[in-house]
């Protein structure tokens, strides 16, 4: 099935909840059959008490515990110094029981996030944000762990057999967490990629040419449904909490009447991020045990 084959009046729902369950079941299976010794251990550093981060981290803990992995959240005060945080990372880097380290972002303003991410041992970098791992992604060498949210989006496309080869993908947002890595991943999968951001003039015009849209701006309903080309595949990364408590994406919901396939919010990209974190934790642990870890993105 190609993207143009799936044009229909109501978009195919790219069901991240369903696909993430399938991926988590595979991880559980692999741990049961191929893993020896202490379960893989993930440590998350949570600095301060950003409410969204609290929710994300609790999902991460639940998923890992369900798989029988060891996971731990280390809560640190928002006032922690960068130096102290770097010290904490140094001891985790040297702890042979810890396979995977994640520093939940965003960090308080007085801490230089890039310096912190660079301080994680690249072999334990479960987010794939270390410059060495990001550099590998850039140059076409697949790191053991790829950034979770973009990796989850590609796995979702793979599950539904949606090939992006030769398609025009327009990525809205240029963050290191989503926009840049998803652009590289789509490029590796042979898409023609345009990266847009707040200073891009005439976004509607660019989106009218997009076969694949990635919306990762963090603004509710920013992308209007009628900007999207009929039949496009829309991956909505936005998880915006509205005043009434509901969640909404970066793309207007009405896009389901225009696109051929859409990720719902919630239940699309979000659960895939968690599943890929589990995949990454297992892969890092396997690599640290000397097992061969097969590439999946750049095959």
Binding site for ligand GUN (CB under 6 A): 102-105, 127, 148-149, 177
Contact 48, 299 (CB under 8 A): no
Decide whether 146 or 210 has the Cβ nearer to ligand GUN.
146
Distance CA 240, CA 249 (A): 6
CB of 195 to ligand GUN, least distance (A): 18
Shortest Cβ 158–ligand GUN spacing (Å)? 19
CB of 105 to ligand GUN, least distance (A): 4
Phi, psi of 268 (to 5 degrees): -110, -95
Task: For residue 286, indicate whether it is catalytic.
Answer: no
Would you say the C-alpha torsion 186, 188, 194, 195 has a positive or negative sign? positive
Write down the least CB distance from residue 266 to ligand GUN, Å: 15
Of 127, 211, 236, 250, the active-site residue reads 127
Contact 103, 129 (CB under 8 A): no
Closer to ligand GUN at the Cβ: 148 or 223?
148
The bridge status of strand 240-241 relative to strand 247-248 is antiparallel
Query: Smaller CB distance to ligand GUN: residue 150 or 210?
Result: 150
CB 171 within 8 A of CB 195: yes
Residue number of the CB closest to ligand GUN reads 105
For residue 65, indicate whether it is catalytic. no
124 is catalytic: no
* CA 74 to each of CA 43, 78, 121: distance values in angstroms, whole numbers, following the listed order: 7, 13, 17
Give the nearer residue to ligand GUN in terms of CB position, either 40 or 147: 147
The set of catalytic residues is 60, 104, 127
């Amino acid at each position: 099935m190609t993207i143009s084959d799936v044009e229909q009046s109501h978009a195919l729902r790219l069901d991240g909840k369903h696909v993430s369950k399938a991926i988590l079941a595979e991880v559980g299976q692999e741990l049961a059959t191929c893993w020896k010794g202490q379960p893989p251990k993930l440590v998350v550093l949570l600095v301060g008490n950003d409410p969204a981060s609290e929710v994300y981290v609790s999902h991460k803990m639940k998923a890992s515990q369900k798989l029988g992995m060891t996971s731990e959240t280390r809560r640190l005060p928002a006032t922690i110094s960068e130096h102290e945080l770097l010290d904490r990372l140094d001891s985790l880097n040297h702890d042979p029981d810890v396979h995977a380290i994640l520093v939940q972002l965003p960090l308080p303003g007085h801490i230089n996030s890039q310096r912190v991410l660079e301080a994680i041992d690249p072999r334990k970098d479960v987010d794939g944000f270390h410059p060495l791992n990001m550099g590998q992604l850039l140059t076409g060498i697949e790191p053991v762990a790829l950034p979770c949210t973009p990796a989850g989006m590609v796995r979702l496309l793979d599950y539904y057999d949606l090939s992006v080869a030769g398609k025009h993908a327009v990525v809205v947002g240029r963050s290191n967490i989503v926009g840049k890595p998803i652009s590289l991943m789509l490029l590796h999968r042979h898409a023609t990629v345009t990266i847009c951001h707040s200073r891009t003039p005439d976004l509607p015009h660019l989106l009218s040419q997009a076969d694949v849209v990635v919306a990762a701006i963090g603004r509710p309903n920013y992308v209007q449904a009628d900007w999207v080309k009929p039949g496009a595949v829309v991956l909505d990364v936005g998880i915006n909490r509205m005043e009434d408590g509901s969640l909404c994406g970066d793309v207007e919901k009405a896009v389901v009447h225009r696109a051929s396939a859409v990720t719902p919010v919630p239940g699309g990209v979000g659960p895939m991020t968690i599943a890929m974190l589990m995949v990454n934790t297992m892969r890092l642990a396997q690599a640290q045990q000397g097992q061969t870890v097969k590439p999946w993105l750049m095959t």
